[in-house]
Structure 1
């Protein structure tokens, strides 16, 4: 990762243990996330389909994570060999898949939190809003909007990488300071807003659960599942998304290339943790849909979601 923002086209990268560690980390993330998200997506589609807003959001989150996982072999190869023979277009696509995953995953996780919030606090009034059609439209808007907003970034990155005629640093490439500052600041504000939404949703849900009576081990377990859903969501934001984005801003003022490289590796781990959201969000996640029964009379948030 070059610390020189005015001339990122370097002749070559020298082998280092730091690059080797990045290759190992990405390799481990790939080994875990690819099968995990593939199996999760298969289970979601086979056992739950697109029959609820909750399932639709999770299918899209799994698809986003799977796209990131599919780009990780390129990162492993680059950091293991410090060579990039695949061309500028492939490099641009691999870099943008990571950035798009951060943005789409953060949105889908927030939508999942909001979906749970309205399902718990407004179980009856929200039924007309929490439909499969509405969830599909929201997800389509997210993909289209994020893609459109990334087009200028894609063009800029591709053009700058094209200028590197001798050696393509790919994942160690950094654009101009001004462009990087704009991107980092926009993403930081965007993620901060989503984090606030998740915090508010978590507080409201905890307050709502405390006001409702709880009797029996089943309802206690359901409450724990609801709390764990929001805990995982907050964990993803506070550990994987925000440090990476904030370090982008700090790194522009000083050279923290090694720290930023480590936080990018850490951010990629989010695709390994997201399947926990599926497990705690949908009752009988591992069961066939024909064996699943929904109890609409309980305060279980995950059961309420299955109704729509």
Structure 2
């Protein structure tokens, strides 16, 4: 075969390869985006009903909690500070729910700025809620593991400082991402749904630093609390009953944390890995739908936090009563409040 013909054949092969790669690239960029924007009717119907229930019960439970913690409790304790911080983060979630419920069934352009604000408020609840629950577990750990030193370590002022630091770190991070970093391309009509297959490093960072690290701290503290209480010598049946009640409280709160936030953390990390591997569009769409489901499931913390309020504050439901109490009961309430 002549050299000229060989050159022509090589040129045609290279050109064909380039065309094939271009076609594949165009398919990934165009078709994947259109597939990611497709609505999953079953998932959206579930999220629509689920979020309405979360909104209704979240407003009821958190309104009751605000009334109790703001107007019925007199003394500021570590518990009250942490609970108020948790309430504030839950209010951020409740603010976004009406818009998210509407977007679940309708397409409306909210505008890039307002969409970014809603996303910030939503993740404010997620990561500040995670941080606050972690702080509560650390506070319990110090109180039970080091009871003698706990009085110098723990105070309402130090709890407030810790909460302020958490808010400062989150707000500073959001301002950096919104003002200095390259913002992700977001569809204003979907807002909370990722509409492309480009992996976001910020999602990975938030998942590791905002969820994985706090989860490890919470599980360690909760496990140590349970082991410490189990090893403690019981003087009488009442003390054994109190210890078992405390173990149940710690176990329940840890289970609520994992139920609400573990699927979200795992979903975000798995989605980032699969998007980085550039898998097929159908696979990425499935993973994205799971992440969307996990995002909705995490909203449940807005309601389940009331369990935390009930367990952590011993006198919570006692103070809900509108009837006046005797002097003896009032003295008991004050004693309980100072011991939380």
Q: The TM-score by the shorter chain falls in which range?
A: 0.7 to 0.9
Unaligned runs of 5+ in 1: 297-302
Q: Secondary structure at the match of 1:124?
A: coil
Matching of residues 253-268 of structure 1 within 5 Å = 253=274, 254-255=283-284, 256-268=287-299
Contact 2:207 2:265 (8 Å CA) reproduced: yes
Query: Is 1:143 aligned to 2:167, yes or no?
Result: yes
Query: Is 1:271 aligned to 2:302, yes or no?
Result: yes
Q: Secondary structure at the match of 2:261?
A: helix
Which structure has the highest helix share of the two?
2
Q: 1:273 to 1:153 in 2, by over 3 A?
A: same
Which aligned segments of 4 or more residues in structure 1 are displaced greater than 4 angstroms?
4-15, 155-159, 215-218
Deviations 1:112-135 (A, max 9, x none): 011111112222321122111111
Q: Which residue of 2 aligns with 1:30?
A: 55
The 10-residue stretch of structure 1 (35-44 or 137-146) with the greater mean CA deviation from structure 2: 35-44
**Separation (CA, whole Å) in 1 of partners of 2:138 and 2:54:** 28
Q: 1:157 to 1:57 in 2, by over 3 A?
A: farther
**Separation (CA, whole Å) in 1 of partners of 2:36 and 2:233:** 67
**Separation (CA, whole Å) in 1 of partners of 2:74 and 2:111:** 38
Deviations 1:193-226 (A, max 9, x none): 2112112212221222123233556434432332
Contact 1:5 1:177 (8 Å CA) reproduced: no
Q: Quick one: which of 117, 128, 135 aligns to 1:104?
A: 128
Paired residues, number: 292
Root-mean-square deviation (CA), in Å?
3.0
Structure having greater relative contact order (Cα 8 Å, sep ≥ 6): 1
The TM-score normalised by the length of structure 2 is 0.75
Q: Which residue of 1 aligns with 2:226?
A: 206
Matching of residues 111-260 of structure 1 within 5 Å = 111-155=135-179, 160-161=185-186, 168-174=189-195, 177-178=198-199, 180-215=200-235, 218-252=238-272, 253=274, 254-255=283-284, 256-260=287-291
1:265 Cα shift?
Answer: 0.9
Q: Quick one: which of 283, 293, 307 aligns to 2:332?
A: 293
Q: Which residue of 2 aligns with 1:299?
A: none
1:88 Cα shift?
Answer: 2.3
Q: Which residue of 1 aligns with 2:42?
A: 17
The TM-score normalised by the length of structure 1 is 0.82
Contact 2:229 2:247 (8 Å CA) reproduced: no
Unaligned runs of 5+ in 2: 1-27, 275-282, 320-324
**Separation (CA, whole Å) in 2 of partners of 1:152 and 1:175:** 22
1:5 Cα shift?
Answer: 7.7
Contact 1:92 1:158 (8 Å CA) reproduced: no
